Structure 1
Amino acid sequence: MSWKSLVVLVLLAAGLGGFFYYDTYWLAPAREKTESVKGRLWTVEPKDVQTLTLKRKTDTVKLARAGDGGWEMLEPVKTRGDRNAVDGVVTTLATLRVDREIDGSPAKLSEFGLDPPEVQVTLEAKGRAEPLVLLIGGKNPTGAWVYGKEGSKSAVLALSEGVGRDVARPLAELRDKTVLSFDRKSITAVDLDVAGDRMTVEPQESGTWQITKPRALKADADLMADFLEKLASARAKEFVDDTPKTLAPYGLDRPATVTLWIGKDKERSSKALLLGRQDKDKKGVYVMRQGEPGVMLVGEELWTAVPKTVGVLRDKVVLAYAYDKVAKIALEHAKGGVTLERDGSGWKLTAPEPLKADPGAVNGVLWRIRDLRASGFLSEDARDVPRYLAKPEVTVRIWEEGGKEPKVLLVASSRETRGGQPVALAAVAGQGPVMLVEGKALEDLARTASDLRDKSLLPAFELGDVKRARVAGGGKSLLIERKGEAEWQVLEPSKGKAKEARVSDLLLTLKALRWKEIASAKGDDAGRFGLDRPELEVTLSKADGAELATLLVGKEEGDRTYVRVKTSPSIYVIDSKLVRDLRKAPSEIPG
Structure 2
Amino acid sequence: MKFKGTITLTIAFIGIVLYYFLIDVPTAEQKKEDKIRSEKVLLFEPGDVDTFSIIKNKISITLKRSSTSEWQMTAPVNAKGDTAAASTYLSFLNNLSFTRVVDDSPKDLSIFGLNTPTLKISFSMKNGGTQGIRVGDDHPMGSKIYLARSDENTVLSATVARNNLDRSVYDLRDKTILSFETSKVTKLECTRDEKTLVLEKVEASWKLSEEKNSAKGSENEISNFLNSIRAARIKEFVEEHPEQLASYGLDNPKLILKVISAKASDPLTLLIGKKGENGFYAKILSGKNVFIIEQSLFNTLNNSRLVDFADKSLVNFSDDEVARLNLRMDDEAIHLIRDEKDLQKWTIEKPVNAQASTATVNSLLFDLKDTRIVEFVKTFVTNPEPFGFDPPEKKLTLTYKDGKTWSLILGNQTSSGEHYFARRTGEEVVFTLKRSSMETIFRSLNDLKDKTLLEFNKDEVRQIKILKPEQTFVLKKFEKEWNLTLPEKLDAVPDFIANDILWTLNSLEFESALSTDPGDIITGLGQPRLAVELLDKKDRVLAHMMVGGAVVKSPDLYYIQTTSNPTIYTVNKRILSEIPGNINKFKVQSKSE
The alignment's TM-score, normalised by the length of structure 2, stands at 0.59
Identify the residue that residue 375 of structure 2 maps to in structure 1: 238
Which of 191, 205, 210 is the aligned partner of 2:326? 191
Distance 2:68 2:470 in 1: 86
- Aligned counterparts of 1:82 and 1:172: Cα–Cα separation in 2: 10
Question: Aligned to 1:262, which of 392, 400, 409?
Answer: 400
1:429 and 2:558 are equivalent in the alignment? no
Give 1:451's aligned amino acid: K
Q: Hey, what's the Cα distance between the residues in 1 that align with 2:193 and 2:539?
A: 75
- Give the match for residue 396 of structure 1: 532
Question: Deviations along 1:299-355, whole A, 9 cap, x unmatched?
Answer: 213431244543332111222334455443221113422222457776443433123
Indicate how the Cα distance of structure 1 residues 357 and 251 shifts in structure 2: closer, same or farther if over 3 A, else same.
Answer: farther
Of 59, 70, 81 in structure 1, the residue corresponding to residue 217 of structure 2 is 81
1:287 is matched with 422
2:492 is matched with which residue: 350, 356, 360? 356
Query: Is 1:216–2:353 an aligned residue pair?
Result: yes
- Equivalent residue, structure 2, for 1:365: 501
Contact 2:523 2:548 survives alignment (8 Å): no
Q: For 2:508, give the aligned amino acid.
A: L
The answer to whether 1:329 aligns with 2:464 is: yes
Aligned match of 2:190 in 54, 59, 70? 54
Q: Residues 345 and 55 of structure 1: is their aligned pair in 2 closer, same or farther, counting only changes over 3 Å?
A: farther
SS in 2 for 1:130: coil
The alignment partner of 1:281 has SS state of coil
State the 1:140 CA deviation.
13
Write the distance in 1 (CA, Å) between the matches of 2:480 and 2:301. 61
Rounded to whole Å, the distance in 1 between the matches of 2:500 and 2:261 is 65
Tell me, yes or no, if the aligned pair for 1:382 and 1:431 is still in contact at 8 Å: no
Count of aligned pairs: 419
> Matched residue of 1:433: which SS?
strand
Further displaced range: 325-334 or 52-61: 52-61
RMSD: 4.6
Aligned to 1:451: 585
Q: Which amino acid aligns with 1:254?
A: P
CA distance, structure 1, for counterparts of residue 281 and residue 567 of structure 2: 74
Match of 1:297 in 2: 432
TM-score between both structures, scaled by the size of structure 1: 0.59
2:259 equivalent in structure 1: 123
Q: What is the Cα deviation at residue 209 of structure 1?
A: 1.1
In the superposition, relative to structure 1, how do residues 278 and 423 fare at CA in structure 2: closer, same or farther (>3 Å)? same
Letter paired with 1:261: T
Does 2:340 match 1:202? no
Contact 1:400 1:406 survives alignment (8 Å): yes
Change (3 A) 1:307 1:382: farther
Contact 2:483 2:489 in 1 (8 A): no
Change in 2 beyond 3 A, CA 1:254/1:97: closer
Shift of the alpha carbon at 1:388? 6.4
Residues 294 and 46 from structure 1, CA distance in 2 versus in 1: closer, same or farther, beyond 3 angstroms? Answer: closer
Secondary structure of the equivalent of 1:128? coil
Query: Take 2:538 and 2:193, find their aligned partners in 1: how far apart are those partners?
Result: 75
Counterpart of 1:177, as a letter, is K
Measured at CA, do residues 250 and 161 of structure 1 come closer, stay the same or move farther in structure 2, by a change above 3 Å?
A: closer
Contact 2:323/2:399, CA 8 A, preserved across alignment: yes
- Is 1:172 the counterpart of 2:172 in the alignment? no
Structure 1 pair 115–361 and aligned structure 2 pair: CA distance change class (3 A): farther
The alpha-carbon deviation at position 409 of structure 1 amounts to 1.6
Contact 1:357 1:452 in 2 (8 A): yes
Aligned pairs (5 A) from 1:429-578:
429-453=563-587, 455=589
The change in CA–CA distance for 1:329 and 1:116 in structure 2 (over 3 A counts) is: farther
Assess if the C-alpha contact under 8 Å between 2:307 and 2:379 holds in 1.
no
Deviations 1:505-561 (A, max 9, x none): xxxxxxxxxxxxxxxxxxxxxxxxxxxxxxxxxxxxxxxxxxxxxxxxxxxxxxxxx
Please tell me whether the aligned partners of residues 382 and 430 of structure 1 are also in contact (alpha carbons under 8 angstroms). no
SS state at 2:450 partner = coil
Take 2:258 and 2:484, find their aligned partners in 1: how far apart are those partners? 80
Deviation of the 1:66 alpha carbon: 0.7
Q: What is the CA distance between 1:218 and its match in structure 2?
A: 0.8
Shift in Å, 1:258: 1.9
**Quick one: distance in 2 between partners of 1:229 and 1:385?**
44
**What is the CA distance between 1:50 and its match in structure 2?**
2.0
| Distance in 2 (alpha carbons) for counterparts of 1:155 and 1:44 | 20
Paired with 2:481 and 2:255, the residues of 1 have a C-alpha distance of: 72
CA change 1:222–1:279 in 2 (3 A) is: farther
| SS of equivalent to 1:272 | strand
Report the counterpart of residue 339 of structure 1 in structure 2. Answer: 474
Q: Percent identity?
A: 20
Structure-1 residue corresponding to 2:16: none
> Distance between the aligned counterparts of 2:317 and 2:292, measured in 1?
45
Q: Map Cα deviations across residues 98-140 of structure 1 (whole Å, 9 max, x no partner).
A: 4x76334399999999999996432012333332133679999
Bigger radius of gyration: 2
3-state SS of the aligned residue for 2:527?
coil
1:427-479 CA distances to partner (integer Å, 9 max, x unpaired)? Answer: 221314311011232233243332134538xx8xxxxxxxxxxxxxxxxxxxx
What pairs with 1:18-29 in structure 2 (closer than 5 Å)? none
- Structure 1: runs of 5 or more not aligned: 1-29, 460-567, 571-591
The alpha-carbon deviation at position 44 of structure 1 amounts to 3.1
Distance 1:66 1:454, change over 3 A: farther
2:389 aligns with: 252
C-alpha contact (below 8 Å) 1:120/1:136 kept by paired residues? yes
Alpha-carbon distance in structure 2 between the residues aligned to 1:299 and 1:374: 30
In 2, are the aligned partners of 1:413 and 1:442 still within 8 Å (CA)?
Answer: no
Distance 1:374 1:114, change over 3 A: farther
